[in-house]
Amino acid sequence: MNEMISVITITMLAVISPGPDFALVSRNSLLLSRRAGVLTAVGIGAGVLVHLTYTLLGVGLLMTRSIWLFNLLKLAGAAYLIWLGIRMLNSTPPDDGKIDGNGDTAAALSDLGALRAGFLTNALNPKTTVFVVSLFMQVVQPGTPLAVQLGYGAFISLAHLLWFSLVALLFSAGPVRSRMMALRHRVDRVFGVLLTGFGVLLASAGLPR
C-alpha cells in the first residue's frame, strides 16, 4: 500500500509539472482545436509506454548509466524540441493563412501529426526516462509482482493521458480560445520560444546519469 501511494503521489507531481508536453498540448489546443490537443495528449500517453517498456526490460537502467547513450537520447530530444519551436516561430501570420468556414485559421496539423508530435515529444524526453527509471528503481520493490508493475505502468501512462486531455479541454474552451485566436501569431511565437528554450536547456543541462 505504501508503495502504491508513493507511485501515485510521485507520478501526479511529475505529470502536472510544466514542461515540453504541457507547452505542446496548450499550443495545439489554443491555436488548432480541441481534437488536436486531445490527440497530442494521447500521443504523450503512448510515449510514456516506450519509457515503461525499456525500464521493465532493464534497458532503462543501462541508458541512464551509459553516458554516451543517454547523451544521444538527450540530444535527439533537444533537437526535436528546437525543430518544433523553430517551426512555430516561422509560422505564417493568420492573415496569410487559410480560413475555414467559421472564420478560424484552418488547422495545419493532421490527426496523425498531432499524435506523432505528442508521442515524439515525450518519447524523446530524457527527463521522462530519468523519472520512470528512478521511480521503478527507488520506489518499486524488486519483489513486486510483474502484474503489479505493469499496473503501475498503466497508471503512469493513463495519468499523463488524463491530465493533458484536461489541459486540452481547458485551453480549447470557447472564451479562452476565442481570445487567443485574435493573438494567434503572437501565441505561436511564445510557444515557439518556450519549446526552443526547453530544447536548448535540455541539450546543455547536466542531467543525472
- Confidence at 4, pLDDT banded by 50, 70, 90: confident
What's the CA angle centered on 74, arms 150 and 42, to 5 degrees?
A: 45
158's grid cell: 493513463
Burial class (CB in 10 A: 0-12, 13-18, 19+), 118: buried
- Confidence at 133, pLDDT banded by 50, 70, 90: confident
Q: What is the DSSP letter of 209?
A: -
Q: Once rounded to an integer, what is the mean pLDDT over residues 114-133?
A: 89
Per-residue confidence (pLDDT) for residue 151, from 0 to 100: 92
**Residue whose C-alpha is closest to residue 25's, from 105, 94, 117:** 117
Instruction: Assess contact for 198 and 33: CB atoms under 8 A.
Output: no
Using alpha carbons only, how large is the chain's radius of gyration in Å? 18
Residue 100 neighbours by CB distance under 10 Å: 10
Residues in Cβ contact with 66 at an 8 Å cutoff, skipping those fewer than 6 apart: none
The model's pLDDT over 83-107, given as tens digits with 9 standing for 90+, comes to 888 877 876 655 444 434 333 444 4
The model's pLDDT over 28-74, given as tens digits with 9 standing for 90+, comes to 988 888 899 999 999 999 999 999 988 888 766 666 677 777 777 77
Per-residue confidence (pLDDT) for residue 6, from 0 to 100: 86
Per-residue confidence (pLDDT) for residue 112, from 0 to 100: 92
Residues in Cβ contact with 14 at an 8 Å cutoff, skipping those fewer than 6 apart: 131
Residues in Cβ contact with 206 at an 8 Å cutoff, skipping those fewer than 6 apart: none
Per-residue confidence (pLDDT) for residue 44, from 0 to 100: 96
Instruction: Assess contact for 43 and 116: CB atoms under 8 A.
Output: yes
Per-residue confidence (pLDDT) for residue 185, from 0 to 100: 67
The DSSP line for 22-68 is HHHHHHHHHHT-HHHHHHHHHHHHHHHHHHHHHHHTTHHHHHHH-HH
Per-residue confidence (pLDDT) for residue 60, from 0 to 100: 64
Residue 124, CA distances (Å) to 7, 171, 174 in order = 22, 24, 32
How many CA within 13 A on the CB side of residue 184? 24
166's grid cell: 484536461
Sign of the Cα pseudo-torsion (140, 146, 147, 151, in order): positive
Residue holding cell 528503481? 137
Q: Which range, of 5-19, 143-157, 193-207, averages the lowest pLDDT?
A: 193-207
Q: Can you tell me the distance from the alpha carbon of 188 to that of 200, in angstroms, rounded to the nearest whole number? A: 18
Higher pLDDT, 81 or 1: 81
The model's pLDDT over 138-185, given as tens digits with 9 standing for 90+, comes to 788 877 888 988 999 999 999 999 999 999 998 888 776 666 666 666
